[in-house]
């Protein structure tokens, strides 16, 4: 008898490929094992064995495999089942899922990055047309990946072009080195080594007798280290000796104390003993027992707990139970880099049973975590990770927690699989007969709707821990303030008053500026021209810090010009405002205070994010200006005031979820204010203080928001009432994409009638030289989702068989966000 295997190959092919194996190989090979297989004329791929059988393919002659790469499966049966679900639900291939699911080291193919060689007077005439296209693209972008080049050249097999470019020394190929995930740096102090001898110490203390506060600090340092026998944190020393960190800094400057960092590796916990989990208060206890009761009836339960209600401590109790049953826990977070505080918290309770999985970890680290989960090792009982951690090889999952379940970053945007990690988690848990807990202070309409429909269980905590009051929210009408001339730049008199008072009391301030809606663009005051990105239909954004103009869509950048490109006038104006400009204004308004900024630009570098968080925690920053990043679960003791600079650009964002998101965002930032005994204050500046969302934010009225938004969703047939699939067509030629999208939508309309919208050009119609068209298919609850997708796939296949359309890229996005 002959034996065959079906193999998943990490490329977007609709079908699995069948290879021939020998009888002895058939005894050995199991689904989930990797094999090296030949493909096409000369390619070799790493594939995952899907199944072993004895039915040879009829359409082609099966080739032999090259090599078996694993002795035992690296992917288990449940995972293969999950991959299949993802591929069918999100309308992508198993190859797409495989690529997203496996650490790239398993695919034995480096994440290849291509850069341009810097050569003086490079002779471009030696380049062929396709080579020149790639070379030219590298003028605009410093690096390209293989798939970018496929897009640019509109073909799959681009390796020969790359090879020729390397031979002509036009480009280089390098393996991308992911920056390792950096731990939070805690500052420690010790006595400078000059003073460790008794005599020197004696002299020092004598000398310091004239500076009693400083002497106190040194004495306290001794007593803490004697007591704890551990390194002394600057923060502890400052608290214990009751002096500000500036006095400690003075001692460091004098050379009496020495400051240092200890790097705690978060992949491998190297910490001290674990601590017992906290005793829950009444509300938490009630919530915990309600969750347990709800799990008896529901596989999924939504926990709606206001910010700072102590949801994490409730999760911890649930985790303890699951661990006691010997099962694994998956703790999903929107964004690992933004949650260092939580990682530390969980490690304090669970020690090295906590493992963190992050796509930005080095390849090696990811493989290690993968293997720990696969072998159910004691080192990976609790997996903490962002969306891609749903792909880990769990074999005994008991609980999935989706923290901040409303966060949109759980949905993968690009490339396929365009999956939603929260929804996939529910399916994954189901496959393991495990429970899923969704937690949020501002649940997504989707989840709350599911709870209301009794599809999910529902539990609430309405009180903050320790009865800390919800912050006092005040709406400031900037239209009125402008009329009365009570604005200084972007700051109203009310905001300045509150800021002054907060700073006088020694408390901290967070200022929130949503950059997404409105970033500074340059406009000529004479002719109105504003510089555009050459590759995309957007204005370039001005970055003062580097004196550059940048495109936020493709990364194109250029030096800021002195005069207008169009008319030569030197009268150029920065319109709009971003975090950078707010920071500048704050510095002018409060020159004595320390201001810092947290956004993509300031957190990109080494330790960028950690530095800012640490500085804020240690009160080296008085005022922090930031974007959405600020909303993610941070817990700052001394932040008393939160200012939202402009609520309108969030509310007016052209998206049906804009209102829901604005509510979530504002409530989450507000949650940063006053987490201790004192009541926090939130000021929201707006042109439209009567906007319902702002009223709902200021009264913390989730239910009103929910009901009103759901009304709109019913009326306009949006999710969660209707499901929807977004189809995006892209091509570099506008006419081609237009004809194609009209053909596509016509065919859809024949089946789905009025439930097809578009084609429409999105607000930014061209990105990276590709014109976009969107078509939306709305799917009523009673219509079969599976049948709908079948019909779409059929249309898609006919579309792809039309010669003129073959070069048009089609992107299917199910449950688009």
Task: Looking at residues 117 to 136 of the shown chain, list those that interact with Zn ion (rule: CB under 5 A).
Answer: none
Nearest approach, Cβ of 142 to Zn ion (angstroms)?
A: 14
Give the residue from 332, 315, 299 showing the smallest Cα distance to 433.
Answer: 299
Task: Looking at residues 441 to 470 of the shown chain, list those that interact with ligand ADP (rule: CB under 6 A).
Answer: 465
How deeply is 139 buried, as exposed, middle or buried, from its count of CB atoms within 10 A (0-12, 13-18, 19+)? exposed
**How far is the C-alpha of 542 from the C-alpha of 578, rounded, in Å?**
9
Q: Is 543:550 a contact under the CB 8 Å cutoff?
A: yes
Residue 575: both structure tokens together: 């319109």
**How far is the C-alpha of 186 from the C-alpha of 614, rounded, in Å?**
7
| Residue 279 interaction partner, one of ligand ADP, Zn ion, none, beta carbon < 5-8 Å per kind | ligand ADP
Q: How many residues bind ligand ADP (CB under 6 A)?
A: 15
| Residue 215 interaction partner, one of ligand ADP, Zn ion, none, beta carbon < 5-8 Å per kind | none
| Residue 645 interaction partner, one of ligand ADP, Zn ion, none, beta carbon < 5-8 Å per kind | none
Residue 566: both structure tokens together: 């169009």
Residue 111: both structure tokens together: 């994440």
Position among 18, 79, 151, 312 found at the interface with ligand ADP (CB under 6 A): 312
Question: Residue 223 phi/psi, 5° resolution?
Answer: -70, -35
Residue window 735-774: x/- pattern of binding to Zn ion, with contact defined by CB under 5 A:
----------------------------------------
* Shorter beta-carbon distance to ligand ADP: residue 279 or 297: 279
* Shorter beta-carbon distance to ligand ADP: residue 46 or 309: 309
Residue 630 interacts with Zn ion (CB under 5 A)? Answer: no
Give the E-state strand segments of 267-417 in sequence order: 300-305, 328-332, 354-357, 382-385, 397-403
Give the residue from 639, 659, 660, 642 showing the smallest Cα distance to 651.
Answer: 659
**How far is the C-alpha of 124 from the C-alpha of 120, rounded, in Å?**
11
Residue 92 annotated as part of some ligand binding site: no
Nearest approach, Cβ of 377 to ligand ADP (angstroms)?
A: 28
Nearest approach, Cβ of 283 to ligand ADP (angstroms)?
A: 9
Contact region with ligand ADP (CB under 6 A), list: 307-315, 512-520, 579-587, 684-692: 307-315
How deeply is 286 buried, as exposed, middle or buried, from its count of CB atoms within 10 A (0-12, 13-18, 19+)? middle
Nearest approach, Cβ of 303 to ligand ADP (angstroms)?
A: 9
**How far is the C-alpha of 735 from the C-alpha of 151, rounded, in Å?**
18
Report which residue's Cβ sits closest to ligand ADP.
Answer: 310
Residue 31: both structure tokens together: 């689904």
Nearest approach, Cβ of 809 to Zn ion (angstroms)?
A: 18
How deeply is 64 buried, as exposed, middle or buried, from its count of CB atoms within 10 A (0-12, 13-18, 19+)? exposed
* Shorter beta-carbon distance to ligand ADP: residue 309 or 614: 309
Contact region with ligand ADP (CB under 6 A), list: 214-222, 310-318, 328-336, 536-544: 310-318
Contact region with Zn ion (CB under 5 A), list: 36-44, 166-174, 447-455, 561-569: 561-569
**How far is the C-alpha of 117 from the C-alpha of 127, rounded, in Å?**
14
Residue 526 interacts with Zn ion (CB under 5 A)? Answer: yes
Give the residue from 32, 110, 8, 107 showing the smallest Cα distance to 374.
Answer: 32
Give the residue from 195, 225, 193 showing the smallest Cα distance to 207.
Answer: 195
Q: Packing angle between helix 146-153 and helix 159-167, nearest 10 degrees?
A: 100
Residue 305 interacts with ligand ADP (CB under 6 A)? Answer: yes
**How far is the C-alpha of 550 from the C-alpha of 545, rounded, in Å?**
12
| Residue 535 interaction partner, one of Zn ion, ligand ADP, none, beta carbon < 5-8 Å per kind | Zn ion
Residue 668 interacts with ligand ADP (CB under 6 A)? Answer: no
Q: Is 495:476 a contact under the CB 8 Å cutoff?
A: yes
Q: Is 782:755 a contact under the CB 8 Å cutoff?
A: no
* Shorter beta-carbon distance to ligand ADP: residue 285 or 575: 285
Q: Using the 8-state DSSP alphabet, how is residue 96 labeled? A: H
Residue 533 annotated as part of some ligand binding site: yes
Nearest approach, Cβ of 720 to ligand ADP (angstroms)?
A: 24
| Residue 635 interaction partner, one of Zn ion, ligand ADP, none, beta carbon < 5-8 Å per kind | ligand ADP
- As beta bridge partners, residue 5 has 19, 52
Nearest approach, Cβ of 462 to ligand ADP (angstroms)?
A: 11
Alpha helices in 273-361 (DSSP H): 282-297, 311-324, 340-350
Residue 316: both structure tokens together: 């911890």
| Residue 465 interaction partner, one of Zn ion, ligand ADP, none, beta carbon < 5-8 Å per kind | ligand ADP
| Residue 220 interaction partner, one of Zn ion, ligand ADP, none, beta carbon < 5-8 Å per kind | none
Position among 336, 461, 564, 697 found at the interface with Zn ion (CB under 5 A): 564
Alpha helices in 129-233 (DSSP H): 129-140, 146-153, 159-167, 198-208, 212-228
| Residue 342 interaction partner, one of Zn ion, ligand ADP, none, beta carbon < 5-8 Å per kind | none
Contact region with Zn ion (CB under 5 A), list: 115-123, 196-204, 558-566, 738-746: 558-566
| Residue 529 interaction partner, one of Zn ion, ligand ADP, none, beta carbon < 5-8 Å per kind | Zn ion
Cα–chain-centroid distance for residue 355? 18
Residue 638 interacts with ligand ADP (CB under 6 A)? Answer: no
Cα–chain-centroid distance for residue 585? 29
Nearest approach, Cβ of 399 to ligand ADP (angstroms)?
A: 17
Residue 536 annotated as part of some ligand binding site: yes
Give the residue from 406, 470, 402, 473 showing the smallest Cα distance to 434.
Answer: 402
Position among 93, 220, 301, 308 found at the interface with ligand ADP (CB under 6 A): 308
Nearest approach, Cβ of 766 to Zn ion (angstroms)?
A: 9
* Shorter beta-carbon distance to ligand ADP: residue 140 or 632: 632
Nearest approach, Cβ of 551 to Zn ion (angstroms)?
A: 3
Residue 311 interacts with ligand ADP (CB under 6 A)? Answer: yes
Residue window 698-717: x/- pattern of binding to Zn ion, with contact defined by CB under 5 A:
--------------------
Position among 536, 596, 630, 683 found at the interface with Zn ion (CB under 5 A): 536
Residue 462 interacts with Zn ion (CB under 5 A)? Answer: no
What count of other Cβ atoms lies within 10 Å of the Cβ of residue 480?
13
**How far is the C-alpha of 586 from the C-alpha of 583, rounded, in Å?**
5
Residue 323: both structure tokens together: 């661990």
Q: Using the 8-state DSSP alphabet, how is residue 104 labeled? A: G
Residue 561 interacts with Zn ion (CB under 5 A)? Answer: no
* Shorter beta-carbon distance to ligand ADP: residue 278 or 657: 278
| Residue 553 interaction partner, one of Zn ion, ligand ADP, none, beta carbon < 5-8 Å per kind | Zn ion
* Shorter beta-carbon distance to ligand ADP: residue 51 or 286: 286
Q: How many residues bind Zn ion (CB under 5 A)?
A: 15
- As beta bridge partners, residue 402 has 332, 438
Residue 107: both structure tokens together: 């695919």
| Residue 313 interaction partner, one of Zn ion, ligand ADP, none, beta carbon < 5-8 Å per kind | ligand ADP
Nearest approach, Cβ of 152 to ligand ADP (angstroms)?
A: 45
Residue 313 interacts with ligand ADP (CB under 6 A)? Answer: yes
Query: What residues contact 796, with CB distance under 8 A and at least 6 apart?
Result: 810, 812
Q: Is 136:195 a contact under the CB 8 Å cutoff?
A: no
Query: What residues contact 306, with CB distance under 8 A and at least 6 apart?
Result: 441, 461, 462, 463, 464, 470, 671, 700
| Residue 569 interaction partner, one of Zn ion, ligand ADP, none, beta carbon < 5-8 Å per kind | Zn ion
* Shorter beta-carbon distance to ligand ADP: residue 307 or 728: 307
- As beta bridge partners, residue 260 has 188
Task: Looking at residues 267 to 286 of the shown chain, list those that interact with ligand ADP (rule: CB under 6 A).
Answer: 278-281, 284
Residues near Zn ion, by CB under 5 A:
524, 526-527, 529, 533, 535-536, 551, 553-554, 556, 564, 566-567, 569
Residues near ligand ADP, by CB under 6 A:
278-281, 284, 305, 307-313, 465, 635
Residues flagged as binding site for Zn(2+)? 524, 527, 533, 536, 551, 554, 564, 567
């Amino acid at each position: 008898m002959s034996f065959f295997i079906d193999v998943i190959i990490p490329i977007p092919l609709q079908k699995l490929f069948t290879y021939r194996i020998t009888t002895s190989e058939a005894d050995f090979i199991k689904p989930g094992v990797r094999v090296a297989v030949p493909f096409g004329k000369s390619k070799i791929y790493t594939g995952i064995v899907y199944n072993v059988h004895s039915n040879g393919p009829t359409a082609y002659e099966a080739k032999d495999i090259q090599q078996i790469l694993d002795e035992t499966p690296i992917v288990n049966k449940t995972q293969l089942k999950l991959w299949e679900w993802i591929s069918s639900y999100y309308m992508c291939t198993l190859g797409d899922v495989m690529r997203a699911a496996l650490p790239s080291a398993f695919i034995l193919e480096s994440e290849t990055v291509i850069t341009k060689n810097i050569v003086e007077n490079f002779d471009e005439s030696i380049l062929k047309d396709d080579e020149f296209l790639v070379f030219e693209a590298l003028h605009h972008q410093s690096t390209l990946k293989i798939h970018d080049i496929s897009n640019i050249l509109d073909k799959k097999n681009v390796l020969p072009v790359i090879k020729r470019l390397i031979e002509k020394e036009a480009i280089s190929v390098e393996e991308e080195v992911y920056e390792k995930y950096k731990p939070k740096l805690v500052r420690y102090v010790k006595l400078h080594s000059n003073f460790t001898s008794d005599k020197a110490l004696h002299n020092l203390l004598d000398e310091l007798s004239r500076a009693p506060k400083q002497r106190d600090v040194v004495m306290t340092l001794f007593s803490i280290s004697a007591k704890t026998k551990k390194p002394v944190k600057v923060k502890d020393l400052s608290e214990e000796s009751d002096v500000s960190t500036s006095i400690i800094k003075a001692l460091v400057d004098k050379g009496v104390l020495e400051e240092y960092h200890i790097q705690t590796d978060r992949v491998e916990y190297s910490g001290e003993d674990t601590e017992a989990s906290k005793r829950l208060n009444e509300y938490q206890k009630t919530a915990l027992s309600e969750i347990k009761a709800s799990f008896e009836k529901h596989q999924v339960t939504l926990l709606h707990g206001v910010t700072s209600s102590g949801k994490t401590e409730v999760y911890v109790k649930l985790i303890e139970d699951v661990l006691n049953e010997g099962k694994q826990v998956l703790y999903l977070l929107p964004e690992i880099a933004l949650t260092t505080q939580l990682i530390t918290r969980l490690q304090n309770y669970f020690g090295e049973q906590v493992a963190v999985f992050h796509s930005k970890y080095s390849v090696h680290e990811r493989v290690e975590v993968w293997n720990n989960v696969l072998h159910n090792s004691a080192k990976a009982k609790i997996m903490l990770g962002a969306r891609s951690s749903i792909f880990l090889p769990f074999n005994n999952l008991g609980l999935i927690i989706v923290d901040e379940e409303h966060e949109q970053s759980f949905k993968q945007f690009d490339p396929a699989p365009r999956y939603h990690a929260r929804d996939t988690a529910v399916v994954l848990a189901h496959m393991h007969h495990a429970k899923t807990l969704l937690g949020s202070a501002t649940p997504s309409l989707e989840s709350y709707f599911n709870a209301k429909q009794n599809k999910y269980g529902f539990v609430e905590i309405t009180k903050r821990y320790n009865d800390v009051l919800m912050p006092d929210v005040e709406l400031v009408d900037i239209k009125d303030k402008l009329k009365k001339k009570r604005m200084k730049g972007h700051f109203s008199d009310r905001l300045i008053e509150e800021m002054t008072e907060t700073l006088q009391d020694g408390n901290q301030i967070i200022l929130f500026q949503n950059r997404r809606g409105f970033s500074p663009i340059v406009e000529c005051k004479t002719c109105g021209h504003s510089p555009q990105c050459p590759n995309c239909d957007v204005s370039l954004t001005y970055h003062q810090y580097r004196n550059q103009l940048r495109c936020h869509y493709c990364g194109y950048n250029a030096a800021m010009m002195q005069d207008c490109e169009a008319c030569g006038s030197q009268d150029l104006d920065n319109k709009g405002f971003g975090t950078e400009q707010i920071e500048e204004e704050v510095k002018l308004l409060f020159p004595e205070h320390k201001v810092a900024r947290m956004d993509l630009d300031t957190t990109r570098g080494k330790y960028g994010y950690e530095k800012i968080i640490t500085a804020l925690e240690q009160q080296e920053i008085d005022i922090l200006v930031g974007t959405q990043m600020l909303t993610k679960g941070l817990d700052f003791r001394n932040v008393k005031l939160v200012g939202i600079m402009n609520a309108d650009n969030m509310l007016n964002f052209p998206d049906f979820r804009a209102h829901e998101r604005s509510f979530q965002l504002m409530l989450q930032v507000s949650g940063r204010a006053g987490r201790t005994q004192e009541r926090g204050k939130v000021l929201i500046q707006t042109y439209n203080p009567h906007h319902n969302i702002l009223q709902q934010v200021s009264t913390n009225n989730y239910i009103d928001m929910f009901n009103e938004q759901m009304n709109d969703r019913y009326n306009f047939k949006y999710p969660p009432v209707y499901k929807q699939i977004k189809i995006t067509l892209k091509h570099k030629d506008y006419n081609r994409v237009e004809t194609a999208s009209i053909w596509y939508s016509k065919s859809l309309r024949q089946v789905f009638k009025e439930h097809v919208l578009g084609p429409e050009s999105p607000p930014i119609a061209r990105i990276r030289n590709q014109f976009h068209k969107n078509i939306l298919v709305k799917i009523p609850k009673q219509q079969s989702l599976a049948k709908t997708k079948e019909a779409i796939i059929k249309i898609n296949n006919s579309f792809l068989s039309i010669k003129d359309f073959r070069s048009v890229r089609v992107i299917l996005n199910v449950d688009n966000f």
